[in-house]
Amino acid sequence: MPREVCLALNISKRSLQSYRDYGIIPCSFIGGKYMYKESDLVRILIQKDK
């Protein structure tokens, strides 16, 4: 899942980690994996386009 998120947002894995750490992208940690809501990713994409 993180790889798909990085590709969708056009960011590196390290940037994704920073986004999580700073609360830019909300996520849940379930079963040892970070999970992201599609609506949160869409919001980030819209904000990047402005």
- Looking at every residue in the chain, the average pLDDT score rounds to 91
- Give the residue-averaged pLDDT of 27-36: 94
pLDDT at residue 44 tops 90: no
Q: Whole domain around residue 38: which residue ranges? A: 2-49
pLDDT at 49 over 80: no
Task: Provide φ and ψ at 35, rounded to 5°.
Answer: -120, 140
Please answer whether residues 2 and 16 qualify as being in contact, where contact means their C-beta atoms are separated by less than 8 angstroms. yes
User: What are the beta bridge partners of residue 15?
Assistant: none
Number of C-alpha atoms within 13 angstroms, CB side, residue 20?
18
Q: Is the pTM of this model over 0.85?
A: no
In whole angstroms, what is the distance from residue 17 CA to residue 49 CA?
Answer: 21
Total of domains in the chain: 1
